[in-house]
Structure 1
């Protein structure tokens, strides 16, 4: 009897394996459990990403139709006057909210819901280790986040690239373009989500974790916006032709202007507003007294954008890895 049972079991296993091969790759074990538990959030993100990418493809087609009337890719002057940049601005604003929304609604409740509802205790009573459970949760969530944000970033970059050199439409140094293209949205969203997971693990209450995660993600956005342009190498150009008309040094049209100052004969810099008296005669006297000989202009060229984005993303990803390690180490001993 036992031989027949063993044979039947082996046959069933073989049939199951063969069915799995015919049906393609299937999730099983812990991967299936995590996907099943959070499938609503995962599918919502994937579906919203697909819809947004389709919208971007359509809008880019509309944009290129307009630009071709001005000789795209070598655009003629005057194309900016009739260009409708509202769709680009609207999508950029929505994409800028993604790190906050995903951090609050996915990262915050990811562990807090299990801890509050008792699921973590149930998992802890099984043969699966806490480290594997936490690692699978973080890994699968991070994978979905990376897939979605990479697709959105690539689509937005593709849409914006034909007009990126025009600072009148959307400056490359603004958050609407810098934070929505390249690796930055991926890194920002991952840090927001993993930070929310850590907050939920410590607070153990879903609603409270979501509120605190909201504060964390908003603060993260503010700090990032403050330090964003410090990632670049400032270029300084000077002139010694006085401060009259057409005496400023040449600065590329798409450059991000940081500061411009008067340059004195001794090489010192003074603010350009320091001699802005009410009368031209008084202003000239002030310039002569300070021995102003020209201008000094500090700027960051658009050519540094990619390197700045990768440097910033590396910093954000390093912080994400540190928080993820904390979640694993803390959760291994103190999760329940």
Structure 2
């Protein structure tokens, strides 16, 4: 009787891990332990997507009435600035996912000692780490993809009006297209790796915050280097040349006859600007700019870089857990 009872208890204990349905075994355990974070992420996704689709009707109506023309950017800003200001907070979502989903994932298991129980049972360590890492990353992938699609659908009809047409300043570029997805995957993977190394939840979250901040600083530097700016050149005797309405003015130069580039303010303080320019041999005024049709290529290049880094971080996490004690 004792032996039979012991067997039944063992079977009952193991039953939840082997339950049927879309999730069973290890994925179900990962879901169960992190279901609060997953449910919050799902709720956020539904709310943001619904809000974007609801507001899109008004944006499309405005564009139909006035046109997607920078002349009406101020009028559009008066009507829809609060809407987009709320959504600009999405630029912080990748960091939040890294801090609150990624960092505690393995660190919490280590801190409570449950990781040893999981990895000393019949479950192979490789299977355990694969389920622990891949399921959260899949949730992040699905959520951020839907949010990015929803916000892009809201922004694209009025891309010359939103933020006065500035798509490169940071917010628009970082929450449309593939960029928010790739950034969220990278920072979540980074948080998981940091938590694995630190073994404590709160320190892991703090270090992930530092890593996310450092990533944002480096990303600001990288963003404008994802492609070469275009140039518009005009004679030195006139104003700086005109660039397309959809373009972002990146820099301005004065070009000399021998090919040197001088800062645009070289002769600003001179009483006789024309004489100053002639003395320095300036023959051209040059504008460097990024146009809207370059945006997609820049986003995909940056996202490819982030995805490569994500793969490296995940590979490091898997190898570390296979070869080092947890």
Q: What TM-score results when the alignment is normalised by the length of structure 1?
A: 0.86
What is the aligned residue count? 306
- Alignment-derived partner of residue 321 in structure 1: 311
Q: 1:323 to 1:144 in 2, by over 3 A?
A: same
Q: Note if contact 2:270-2:276 (Cα within 8 Å) is conserved in structure 1.
A: no
1:298 aligns with one of 277, 288, 294: 288
Q: Note if contact 2:149-2:177 (Cα within 8 Å) is conserved in structure 1.
A: yes
Regions of 4+ moved over 6 Å? none
Q: Deviations over 1:155-184 (max 9, x none)?
A: 010000012134752411121110000110
CA deviation after TM superposition for structure 1 residue 238, in Å = 1.8
Q: Distance in 2 between matches of 1:117 and 1:218?
A: 28
Q: 1:39 to 1:335 in 2, by over 3 A?
A: farther
Q: Deviations over 1:12-47 (max 9, x none)?
A: xxxxxxx96xxxx43211111111111111111011
* Residues 89-128 of structure 1 aligned to structure 2 (within 5 Å): 89-128=84-123
Q: Note if contact 2:69-2:160 (Cα within 8 Å) is conserved in structure 1.
A: no
1:82 aligns with one of 75, 81, 102: 75
Q: Note if contact 1:112-1:200 (Cα within 8 Å) is conserved in structure 2.
A: yes
Q: 1:334 to 1:77 in 2, by over 3 A?
A: closer
Q: Deviations over 1:29-75 (max 9, x none)?
A: 111111111111111101111011111111111222223222x4xx4
CA deviation after TM superposition for structure 1 residue 136, in Å = 0.6
Q: Note if contact 1:92-1:177 (Cα within 8 Å) is conserved in structure 2.
A: no
SS in 2 for 1:177: helix
Larger radius of gyration: 1
Q: 1:77 to 1:89 in 2, by over 3 A?
A: closer
Unaligned runs of 5+ in 1: 1-18
- Alignment-derived partner of residue 174 in structure 1: 169
Q: Distance in 2 between matches of 1:276 and 1:26?
A: 68
- Alignment-derived partner of residue 30 in structure 1: 26
Q: 1:211 to 1:270 in 2, by over 3 A?
A: same
Q: Note if contact 1:262-1:294 (Cα within 8 Å) is conserved in structure 2.
A: yes
Q: What TM-score results when the alignment is normalised by the length of structure 2?
A: 0.89
- Alignment-derived partner of residue 42 in structure 2: 46
Q: Distance in 1 between matches of 2:69 and 2:292?
A: 21
SS in 2 for 1:189: helix
Unaligned runs of 5+ in 2: 1-18
Q: 1:250 to 1:78 in 2, by over 3 A?
A: closer
Q: Deviations over 1:222-276 (max 9, x none)?
A: 111121110012222322x3333xx433321221222211222333222221112
- Alignment-derived partner of residue 242 in structure 1: 236
Q: 1:263 to 1:77 in 2, by over 3 A?
A: closer
